[in-house]
Amino acid sequence: MSIALKHQDAPVEEQLVVVIDDDTDIRCSIVDLLQSAGIRSSSFHDALDFVENGCLNMSGCIVLDVQMPGMSGIEFQSRLEDLGCQIPIVFVTGHGDVPTSVTAMKAGAIDFLLKPFTNKELLDAVDRALETDKCRRQDAVVRNSIKQNASTLTRREREVMQHVTDGLMNKQIAYALGISEIMVKIHRASMMRKMGASSLADLVKKSGLMYA
């Protein structure tokens, strides 16, 4: 089945738990549980329903049934990964097996719960998934800020930054670039200021996040 998920904007600060399960009773009971715990939620009866009416850029997580008509939960997880979508997933199933659970967890699932599961098991898994999503989005904001700062660097400042993060001293950088040590210090100070780096260790960390 070929699908194209819609990219819509969703408020980062307002997390949503999406429940996808073809069993109406289970789907409704999960939604009721989440809402009773003060967790905003919505539901879909299968993956295609979410594709047509959901939001790929949502902030939150998905509680996903493994066995569904049309596209299984595992297939849907794989499709999301192909599209670069990193929404955390909590799998629920009444037909679990070790290979399937291993596949799901290796692909990044937060948990794999066998029906019937307790309310606490589900809520704990959802809490972990929401925290994972929150941290990932916060990291993305930091990385975007670092990349924006890096875009203001001149070509020479980028060269100096590369040599600095490689561990070279000012004198070595000057020799490598064919400029004076004083010019290296000037470019280095400007680069550190633009990157908002307080120390060499901070610069190395931010440089690493640029390519994460």
The CATH 3.40.50.2300 domain(s) of the chain lie at 16-137
Instruction: Report CA 185 to chain centroid distance, whole Å.
Output: 37
pLDDT of residue 12: 46
Mean pLDDT, rounded, for 114-118: 90
Tokens of 19: 């429940």
Mean pLDDT, rounded, for 8-16: 60
Mean pLDDT, rounded, for 73-95: 90
Residue with tokens 């898994």: 125
Region of poorest pLDDT, from 10-14, 71-75, 206-210: 10-14
Tokens of 2: 């070929």
Write down the mean pLDDT value for the chain.
89
The CATH 1.10.10.10 domain(s) of the chain lie at 152-210
Tokens of 105: 């967890």
**At 48, is the pLDDT very low, low, confident or very high (cuts 50, 70, 90)?**
confident
Higher pLDDT, 174 or 102: 174
Report the CATH fold assignment for 16-137.
Answer: Rossmann fold (3.40.50)
Which amino acid is residue 115, in one-letter code? K
pLDDT of residue 158 exceeding 60, the answer is yes
pLDDT of residue 4: 44
The pTM score is 0.75
**Which option is the CATH number for 152-210: 1.10.10.10, 3.90.1150.10, 1.10.260.40, 3.40.50.970?**
1.10.10.10
Q: Point out which residues pair with 111 in neighbouring strands.
A: 90
Alpha-carbon torsion (207, 12, 58, 42), positive or negative: positive
**At 13, is the pLDDT very low, low, confident or very high (cuts 50, 70, 90)?**
low
